[in-house]
């Protein structure tokens, strides 16, 4: 009985020229010997061939186990790397949208969101600027100033309505956007945040008092955000120049400015 020739098992070495060595050379050799022993050999040849096959088979199983373990380890490492990559991507996307100090939306994101909202819906814009913040930094130091900015952001996050978006426009200037042209709701929101800012205290600095000025503007859907911003900024300017720690409103952005 013939179960094959060397050429039937060997992948390499058929033309014998320039081919890389066959990975299964020793197994193929054992198989060849076994085939020959089966065709022509005596009992002794059969036994030797069987022993060689057993040795090769045993080694192949051990190698396969090692390979499978290695593949499992590589798969686990790949999966961990993939997870880390997902976390990094998520972190980068978060950092791209948020202000690093306060965690509120950053200027670009807030403006993008506001423009998208205002294109389809009426909106209120609350601009807020902490009063005499330079003095806070000068008297109590920059780290205390930073903490105040975080406290203010925390108050905004807690007190803004659920459908509102809070952002830091830069420095000590913040904004809240609220869907809907409801002056009462915007005023109520700004009033609560103003109260919370007045209540900010810092351990070790009993004399520290913080206030903020607010400018609110409301506009109907389709108004340009630039227009709304100019109105709110104008109201904020009036709040600053009429004594600070107060709220000024432009109820209709289209008719509210000259
Ligand atoms: N601690 C801290 N201070 C900042 C940060 N960004 C801006 N500032 C400070 O905010 C201060 C803003 O000062 P001004 O623009 O003069 O305004 P102000 O002193 O608040 O005065 P009014 O707005 O007119 O009431 C500057 O001293 C800036 O250095 C920040 O991230 N951390």
> Which ipTM score applies to this complex?
0.98
Write out residues with Cβ below 6 Å of ligand 1: 101, 129-134, 137, 142, 145-146, 149, 171-172, 240, 244
CA–CA distance, 113 with 253 (Å, rounded to integer): 19
Protein residue whose Cα sits closest to atom 24 of ligand 1 = 132
The pLDDT confidence band at residue 20, using thresholds 50, 70 and 90, is confident
Mean pLDDT in residue range 170-192: 96
Does position 11 have pLDDT exceeding 90, yes or no?
no
pTM: 0.80
Protein residue whose Cα sits closest to atom 21 of ligand 1 = 132
133 Cα: distance to centroid of ligand 1 (angstroms)? 5
CA–CA distance, 48 with 50 (Å, rounded to integer): 5
Tens of pLDDT, residue by residue over 82-116, are 999 999 999 999 999 999 999 999 999 999 999 99
Give residues with Cβ within 8 angstroms of 102, minimum separation 6: 149, 150, 152, 153, 168
Copy the structure tokens of residue 249: 């409103």
Ligand 1, residue 146: give the atom nearest the CA: 1
CATH 3.30.70.270 holds for 107-256: yes
What average pLDDT does the structure give for the chain? Answer: 91
225 Cα: distance to centroid of ligand 1 (angstroms)? 25
Does position 1 have pLDDT exceeding 90, yes or no?
no
* Domain residue spans of the chain: 6-77, 107-256
Q: Is 32 a catalytic residue?
A: no
């Amino acid at each position: 009985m013939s179960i094959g020739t060397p050429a039937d098992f060997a992948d390499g070495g058929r033309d014998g020229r320039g081919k890389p060595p066959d990975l299964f050379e020793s197994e193929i050799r054992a198989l060849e010997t076994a085939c020959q022993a089966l065709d022509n050999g005596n009992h002794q040849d059969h036994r030797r061939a069987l022993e060689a096959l057993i040795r090769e088979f045993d080694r192949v199983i051990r190698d396969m186990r090692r390979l499978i373990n290695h593949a499992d380890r590589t798969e686990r490492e790949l999966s961990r790397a993939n997870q880390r990559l997902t976390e990094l991507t998520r972190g980068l996307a978060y950092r791209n949208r948020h202000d690093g100090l306060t965690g509120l939306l950053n200027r670009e994101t807030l403006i993008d969101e506001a423009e998208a909202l205002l294109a389809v819906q009426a909106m209120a814009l609350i601009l807020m600027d902490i009063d005499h913040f330079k003095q806070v930094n000068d008297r109590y130091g920059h780290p205390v100033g930073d903490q105040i900015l975080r406290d203010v952001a925390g108050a905004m996050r807690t007190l803004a309505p659920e459908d509102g978006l809070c952002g830091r426009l830069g420095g000590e200037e913040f904004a809240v956007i609220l869907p809907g042209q409801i002056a009462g709701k915007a005023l109520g929101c700004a009033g609560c945040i103003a109260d919370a800012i007045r209540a900010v205290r810092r351990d070790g600095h009993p004399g520290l008092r913080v206030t903020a000025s607010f400018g609110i503007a409301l506009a109907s859907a389709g108004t340009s955000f630039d227009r709304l911003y100019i109105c709110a900024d104008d109201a904020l300017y009036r709040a600053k120049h009429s004594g600070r720690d107060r709220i000024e409103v432009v109820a209709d952005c289209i008719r509210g400015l000259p």
